[in-house]
Amino acid sequence: MVNIFLNGCCGRMGHTIAKMCQHNDEYKVVAGCDVTTCDDFSFPIYSNPQDCAEDFDVIIDFSNAKAVPTILNYALTRNKPFICCTTALSDDTVAELLKASETIPVFKSANMSVGINLMLELVKKCTKTLYPEYDIEIVEAHHNRKLDAPSGTAMMIANAISQEIPEEVDYVYDRQSRNEARKKTEIGISSIRGGNIVGDHSAMFINDEEIITVSHRAMTRDVFAKGALTAAGFMCGKKAGYYNMSDVIAEAIKE
């Protein structure tokens, strides 16, 4: 049994993870933390993580970018593995995560879906094969309540692609103000916000004769919750270091 401290437990993803653990023999949320309150769960919910009296094996964070440094400091205080699922982090926060990974196990992924992480490998192969003859564009779509744009997953895809391009790559988010022809070294990144879209991501490789599209569509938020729980099991007993979903997949393949 993996005992979890769930930061952001009253949010949409926090609810999904907590409900998934209610009748689960492998994972249990023993305490949570949130600035808001909810009465849906039997475990205690703290507004300040330092008030938590329960013991646990790992921290899962699905909160917001501003809250990450506080919960990361708590992970260091308790010497517990930290799984950061929160997106739109500042460079300073990412640097804090890297620094903390020298002391505790830190897991960071902008998208907890196994399918998205497989997509990253596919777009790398496409880029190796098709660039520079093909222009590359990324389109992402999410629900109308999502605050950050482009999504952290879109940036993961863009970064995976740029790793396979020898030249310096320019990410273009808004062509309206550019008034110039597209350069080969550009990766266009477009965002759509509407309704209750869970998460759609497409990488398009385009030339004059054809369009090759690698896409992923999340049908429910359960896919992200399952990924977070898989990461929780993976992180238990790990030594200090910086981990991501690629490490989870690699370990599963070895087994």
> For 149-165, how does the pLDDT look when each residue is reduced to its tens digit (9 = 90+)?
999 899 999 999 999 99
Buried b (16+ CB within 10 A) or exposed e, 198-232: bbbbbbbbeeeeeeeebebebeebebbbbbbbbbb
Burial class, 79, CB count within 10 angstroms (exposed 0-12 / middle 13-18 / buried 19+): exposed
107 close to 84: Cβ distance less than 8 angstroms: yes
pLDDT of residue 253: 65
Domain count for the chain, please give it: 2
Is there a single domain that holds both residue 206 and residue 233?
Answer: no
142 as an active site residue: the answer is yes
What is the residue range of 56's domain? 2-108+221-254
Same domain, 88 and 168: no
Distances (CA, A) of 161 to 127, 132, 142: 6, 12, 21
- Report pLDDT for 178: 83
Pair 152, 87 in one domain: no
Tell whether 94 and 123 lie within a shared domain. no
What lies within 8 Å, CB to CB, of 112 at 6+ separation is 85, 223, 224, 225, 226, 227, 228, 231, 245
**In a shared domain, residues 195 and 159:** yes
By C-alpha distance, which of 70, 65, 73, 64 is closest to 36? Answer: 64
Q: What pLDDT is stored for residue 147 in this prediction?
A: 86
Tell me the CATH number at 8.
3.40.50.720
Q: How many helices (H) and strands (E) does the chain have?
A: 7, 12
208 lies in the same domain as 230:
no
Task: Spell out the per-residue pLDDT of the chain, length 255, in tens.
Answer: 999 999 999 998 999 999 999 989 999 999 999 998 888 899 999 999 999 999 999 999 999 999 999 999 999 999 999 999 998 899 999 999 999 999 999 999 878 998 998 899 999 999 999 999 999 999 999 999 998 899 989 999 999 999 999 999 999 998 888 889 999 999 999 999 999 999 999 999 999 999 999 999 999 989 999 999 999 999 999 999 999 988 987 777 665
Q: In this structure, are 81 and 134 located in the same domain?
A: no
Give yes or no: residues 33 and 155 share one domain: no
Do residues 125 and 207 both lie within one domain?
yes
The DSSP code sequence of 114-182 is: HHHHHHHHHHHHHHHHHTTTSEEEEEEEE-TT--SSS-HHHHHHHHHHHTT-SSPPEEES--TTT-SPP
Taking residue 123's Cβ as centre, other Cβ atoms within 10 Å add up to 22
Q: Answer whether the bond into residue 132 is a cis peptide, omega within 30°.
A: yes
Q: How far is CA 219 from CA 6, 142, 191, 223, 229, in A?
A: 23, 12, 18, 8, 18
Contact predicate 64/86, CB 8 Å: yes
pTM of the model: 0.80
Q: What pLDDT, on the 0 to 100 scale, is given for residue 159? A: 96
- Chain-centroid distance of CA 112 in Å reads 5
Q: Which two tokens stand for residue 234?
A: 């993976």
* Same structural domain, 51 and 87: yes
Catalytic residue selected from 19, 28, 124, 146: 146
Does residue 32 sit in the same domain as residue 13? yes
CATH of the domain at 190: 3.30.360.10
Contact 6, 54 (CB under 8 A): no
Active site residue 15: no
From 142, 183, 201, 238, active-site residue: 142
Are 98 and 128 found together in one domain? no
